[in-house]
Amino acid sequence: MATDRMNDVVSLQQRLEGHGFIAERSFAATLMLTMEMRRPLLLEGEAGVGKTEVAKALSRLLDTRLIRLQCYEGLDAHSALYEWNYQHQLLAIKLLEQDQRSILDKEQDIFSERYLLKRPLLEAITTTPAPVLLIDEIDRTDEAFEAYLLELLSDFQMSIPELGVIRATERPFVILTSNGTRDLSDALRRRCLYQYIDYPGFEKELLIVRTQVPEVPEKLARQMVEFVQSVRQMDLQKKPGLAETLDWVSALLRLGVSVIDTDGIEQIMDSLSALVKTREDQAGLTRPVVEKLVAAC
């Protein structure tokens, strides 16, 4: 039985790969659990390790919609859940003045779903088939909004005073990401499955580079990944993530670099702005340092 399960996990991993997403087997196992139990999945990790990519890949895999809620400071319930279309309602009131129906009927008409503007969260629980709901950078919102999310994430229902409680017709697949700028509450964490995503190892990163940028020559890809891996070992303020690696790959391809060696050091120095993105880090990657790294590739 368990070997069956392992086969399932491996097949999920392969299908994900088919959709351009490289995952470790352990991550595939977690993702499988997320899909079966329909519990939200909380992803944490440094910026640029591909957390958002997970949701996109999942929606491609399941062939459902991806509904994204980008969190920011000051995000309130109105822009995340729902809002009444007031202007539209007022217009309706004026039009209904001539109407002979009872006030009760009119009222029901005004507060019906026709005048409801669905925002991402309401959209997610009313859509069928179940969509993938990505709540991105949840740590940027304030505690108040986080508390608001709890009801949604545990029961997948939402109360709208004028309409009553709206239950999810089908539970969406929820993925939350956090960069750790603020510690999330235990209550939220308890409701989620958890996965920490680290910087990819050499093999994985190479595989990703090859999948995402197929035109890159094999040798260059190897060298570049090795270079990035050793840059990450350095004491930097902001370590380059996967996105930076991919940027750098296309930058080098554009510059016409086909192999990393000490002769082409100028071009490499020029392209480093795609890899390290603070002034201090750029100052740290001086020519001798880069030469040493290049020689090691």
Binding site for another protein (CB under 8 A): 1-3, 5-6, 9, 25-26, 29-30, 33-34, 36-37, 39, 41-42, 44-45, 73-74, 76, 83-84, 86-87, 89-90, 93-94, 110, 179-183, 186, 189-190, 192-196, 237
Q: What value does the CA radius of gyration of the chain take, rounded to a whole number of Å?
A: 24
Shortest distance (Å) from residue 218 CB to another protein: 31
Shortest distance (Å) from residue 154 CB to another protein: 10
Shortest distance (Å) from residue 120 CB to another protein: 18
Query: What is the SS3 assignment for 297?
Result: coil
Pick the closer one to another protein by CB: 7 or 169: 7
Structure tokens at 36: 């079966």
Q: Which of 65, 162, 175 is nearest to 114 (CA)?
A: 162
CA dihedral 242, 248, 251, 256 (to 10 degrees): -120
Pick the closer one to another protein by CB: 29 or 242: 29
User: Which position has the token pair 């959709």?
Assistant: 19
Shortest distance (Å) from residue 28 CB to another protein: 9
Alpha carbon distances (Å) from 152 to 30, 83, 119, 204, 269: 22, 17, 14, 35, 49
Shortest distance (Å) from residue 29 CB to another protein: 4
Shortest distance (Å) from residue 109 CB to another protein: 12
Structure tokens at 57: 């890949």
Structure tokens at 44: 């944490």
Q: Which residues pair with 245 in a beta bridge?
A: none
Shortest distance (Å) from residue 198 CB to another protein: 9
Pick the closer one to another protein by CB: 2 or 104: 2
End-to-end CA distance of the chain: 45
Pick the closer one to another protein by CB: 73 or 218: 73
Residue 122 burial class via C-beta count within 10 angstroms: exposed 0-12, middle 13-18, buried 19 and up: buried
Pick the closer one to another protein by CB: 145 or 250: 145
Pick the closer one to another protein by CB: 3 or 100: 3
Cβ contact 59:119 at 8 Å: no
CA dist 185 and 13 (Å) reads 31
Pick the closer one to another protein by CB: 1 or 104: 1
Pick the closer one to another protein by CB: 93 or 234: 93
CA dist 268 and 253 (Å) reads 11
Shortest distance (Å) from residue 212 CB to another protein: 25
H or E element in which residue 296 lies: helix 287-296
